[in-house]
Amino acid sequence: MYRSLYEEVKPLIFNGESGILHISYEYGGAAKIVLNEGLIEGVLTEKNEGKGAMEAIAKWISISTRFSQNEKEIGSSLATIDTSSFLSILEKVHKIIQKINTVIPSNNAIFKGDTNKVDKHKRFSSVDFKIMLLLDGKRPLKKVVPESGYSELDVLISVYRLVSSDIAKFLSDSIPMPEKERADFVNTLSEKLMEFVGPAASILISDAFKALGHGPEMLSREEIPRLIESVYDPLEKKEQEALARWSLAFLQE
């Protein structure tokens, strides 16, 4: 779930804090918010300060923060920032993030866009179209954002609209297994099922991945128990138990 900068800044203002809120951005960049007795004296990024810096960090969603109490910014005089206006901007973004959190669980989320459903989007923009093409069912959002050329907030808003319009479908928010590990697992699973059901093994595996909503290339370790359960039905109890023991041993390696 995404946490907004509003949730970090508001308590500092309301509690009358003095110091510097240091912000690190997942997609590159850092910023400082300088406070004096609950008032924002300045906002600085590596490239800008004042209003420009304020507008830039308002669109940063994937952040980590550290507040250093009573620390002072040393250097040139800071560009004036209106505390109320800045907090108002952050609050608006916060409300947007609350909506985004209802459909996007994390930066690892993988979505699949459907060009055949574009006509369902009432307000389809050029940004939405580009983001939809990047939602290929393989890239997690943490790769889509930098590849898109847009701000993180704009990308997340677009994904929210696409999902809400049924143009994009959520597939997973788990990190896929390394290629060799995944291949070893799928090959061994196929061999074990061949022992139990013969040539029908390939059908069972294919149906199991359809139930997951993606192919083997996106398989995560967290999905293995679900995949194993999907192939249980035609197996005898002792075969199910043997498969369960093997999969558990694989997960513990």
In whole angstroms, what is the distance from residue 96 CA to residue 157 CA? 8
Per run of 10 residues, the mean pLDDT along the chain (length 253 residues) is 92 94 93 92 87 90 91 66 92 96 91 80 80 90 94 95 90 80 91 91 90 81 88 90 88 76
What Rg do the C-alpha atoms of the chain give, in angstroms? 24
Question: Dihedrals φ, ψ of 111, to 5°?
Answer: -125, 155
pLDDT of residue 174: 72
Q: What is the pLDDT of residue 61?
A: 94
Nearest to 151 by CA among 23, 46, 85, 62: 62
Q: Quote the pLDDT of residue 77.
A: 64
Q: What pLDDT digit, counting tens, does each position of 134-154 carry?
A: 998 888 899 999 999 999 999
pLDDT score of 146: 94
**The pLDDT of residue 251:** 80
Single-letter residue type at 122: K
> Residue 246 burial (CB < 10 Å; 0-12/13-18/19+)?
middle
